[in-house]
Amino acid sequence: MDRALEKFGNDIAIAFSGAEDVALIEYAHLTGRPFRVFSLDTGRLNPETYRFFDEVEKHFGIRIEYMFPDAVEVQALVRSKGLFSFYEDGHQECCRVRKVRPLRRALKGLRAWITGQRKDQSPGTRSEIPVVQVDPVFEGLEGGVGSLVKWNPVANVKGNDIWNFLRTMDVPINSLHSQGYISIGCEPCTRPVLPGQHEREGRWWWEDAKAKECGLHKGNIKQEDAAVNGNGNGAGNASEAVADIFNSQNLVTLNRTGMENLARLDHRQEPWLVVLYAPWCQFCQAMEGSYVELADKLAGNGVKVGKFRADGDQKEYAKQKLQLGSFPTILFFPKHSSKPIKYPSERRDVDSLMAFVDALR
């Protein structure tokens, strides 16, 4: 913790979830260095968690930097699917709107972040967490792959040792812990666990055990399917159960026929920007917010924005006809040319993408 704060100063922040992450704040406090703390307020947390936030601020004399989901996105989700759609079609979409996208916004203002991930939290998905890493999913202040460092200082610490530390230091603790909650998230998706149950059993209990991640630490998930490897270029078929991404009313979903028609045209009424993607690819997921924001900015401005799912049966076609090398691949189809232009950069923030479009349209 001391090394992280010394190295990055005001450009690093602790991600605080309202559970035992208070140990991170205590460690930071003990260094004597200034530190920042941010938290994701999904709007669906338990009352006890909100009171806990207040206690932590007063105890340490700090102000937690809260990140909130986009009101328009939440409104669209609730209006179209209701307040509890995750019980029927999985938690990924709701988590993406209420947690992942706000986290992405927070991290774009940092060069590094500190998490409370531990290997023993979820042996099936977190068993290979390193203490320090280049973040494999999210982008930092400078944008592009490798622009964000992720510190996991308690990766090798056991849960009972964390709790011994908290009791010894007499710091505030979420009162839900005394009611049987161990891993604490949003109120509708968290419940107490029974003696002998693993702590993650209380999260999204209606889903398969392998799905017990919200997307914040997707890059650290241990992948057992060879189709979902680190560079997004798996040879197999990705799971059809993965929720789709790049969902926006300003984005056109293209099927194989639509893609072939678009590629054949010599004279288009409008230029097109199209992402070739796989929803399970962590790099595609990482650029989702930027691409959707770009589509919203370009709406009504003379450029169509689309997406084409290019994994599975479509992968060979995309490799042979659409310049697919790795996911994501972004193509610009000019108005008066049949040949698409491939976006050459690893920088996938909205400003870089917009500069590419502006240079070509």
Residues assigned a catalytic role: 281, 284
| 10 exposure class (CB count in 10 Å sphere: 0-12, 13-18, 19+) | exposed
Q: Where are the beta strands (DSSP E) in 17-105?
A: 37-40, 65-67
- Degrees, nearest 5: CA angle 35-37-42: 175
Q: Could you give phi then psi for residue 11, rounded to 5 degrees?
A: -95, 15
Q: Across-strand partners of 149?
A: 112, 134
DSSP 254: P
| 91 exposure class (CB count in 10 Å sphere: 0-12, 13-18, 19+) | buried
Distance CA 101, CA 86 (A): 17
Q: Could you give phi then psi for residue 333, rounded to 5 degrees?
A: -100, 105
Q: Across-strand partners of 242?
A: none
What order do you get walking across the sheet with 341-342 strand by strand?
Answer: 252-253, 304-309, 272-277, 329-333, 341-342
Q: What is the residue type of 100?
A: V
- Alpha-carbon distances, residue 170 vs 56, 62, 117, 164, 266 (angstroms): 12, 17, 22, 10, 70
* Token pair in block for residue 249: 């009313």
Grouping H, G, I as helix, E, B as strand and the rest as coil, residue 348 is coil
Distance CA 36, CA 70 (A): 22
Picking from 302, 331, 305, the residue whose alpha carbon sits closest to that of residue 250 is: 305
Picking from 14, 213, 203, 249, the residue whose alpha carbon sits closest to that of residue 100 is: 213
